Amino acid sequence: MHLDFLHRAFWAATRQDLDCFVIDNNGFVLVSERLQEVGRFLGEADGALLTQLLGMGVFSQVTMYDYQAMCKPPNHHHSAAWPLVNPISALLTTARWLANELLLLLLQWSAWGAWRGDSGAQAKAVFHHSHKHKKQEVLQPCDTEYPVFVHQTAIQEANGIIGCGACQKMFVMQQIPHSNLLLLVTDSTCDCSVFPQVLQEAIQIKYNASVKCDRMRSQKVRRRPDSCHAFHPEENAQDCGGTAHTSASLLPLLLPLCAWALLPSCCGDTCPV
């Protein structure tokens, strides 16, 4: 079943004065009246609703770890005036910046002279774009942790009221049979923007000296196996591709030789141009 067909059938069968969501067991929106919410996490679309579901035990939060993440390096400059402390460093930085600007100017000038008209304008735009985005942030390996939300399958339906200050927001949750999807219906008239969003942002793990050493010792170093296992006792060698027995055809090998032999005879005046 296509998602657009499910979306049309879903809204044809529900009341339009309600906010309805179809989410999966990890809280990601699959169907919503607002298309910009499709594919997003429920905590971003409705933080109050997800907070209430977490409090009722419908969803549980699990911390996951990424040991192959990339993070921004720490900034050791305590103030913007640090480069001015060392005049030589400031002079070298200025010279490096001037050299980069001169190189970009020469490249842009040569491209402008080679390409005229629209091509020149396009080249200028390309170089301006590359000059604008030339400073890319350098990342370094790090460890991060991020929250993951999982539906507790023991709770297949729930309902409640969320107090949002001046109003109360009612909601009903029902698991869709024979699937990992949940149907959520909430009141659209009550504004619960006082609740913050629940995000799945990754946070870098900061290790102290001792924990960092233990972390590096426990990290397994990848290496090749000590021995090579080129076959298996239960493997049938006849099922292999048999590329070792592939032989080249004789005719394609003779074609270049025939062309080389006939080439001198075509060098006279009778040979067509």
Q: Give residue-wise pLDDT tens across range 184-208.
A: 999 888 888 889 999 999 999 888 7
H-run or E-run covering 143: strand 140-151
H-run or E-run covering 184: strand 182-187
Say how far apart CA 148 and CA 24 lie, in whole Å. Answer: 13
Average pLDDT over residues 262-272: 50
C-alpha torsion angle, residues 74, 78, 81, 85 (rounded to 10) = -100
Say how far apart CA 103 and CA 97 lie, in whole Å. Answer: 10
- When the pLDDT of each residue in the chain is averaged and rounded to a whole number, the result is 76
Is the pLDDT assigned to residue 215 strictly greater than 60?
yes
Is the pLDDT assigned to residue 240 strictly greater than 50?
yes
Q: How confident is the model at residue 273 (pLDDT cuts 50, 70, 90)?
A: very low
Average pLDDT over residues 51-57: 94
Is the pLDDT assigned to residue 107 strictly greater than 90?
no
Is the pLDDT assigned to residue 140 strictly greater than 80?
yes
Q: Can you give the pLDDT at residue 243?
A: 54
Average pLDDT over residues 203-218: 75
Say how far apart CA 93 and CA 113 lie, in whole Å. Answer: 30
Say how far apart CA 249 and CA 132 lie, in whole Å. Answer: 56
Q: What is the largest CA-CA distance in the chain?
A: 101
Centroid of chain to Cα 213: 30
Q: Can you give the pLDDT at residue 95?
A: 81
Say how far apart CA 24 and CA 200 lie, in whole Å. Answer: 16
Backbone angles phi, psi at 243, to 5 degrees: -70, -20
* Residue predicted with more confidence, 136 or 168: 168
Instruction: Give the closest residue to 198 by CA, choosing from 253, 267, 146, 163.
Output: 146
Could you give the C-alpha distances from 113 to 121, 164, 185, in angstroms and in order? 11, 64, 63
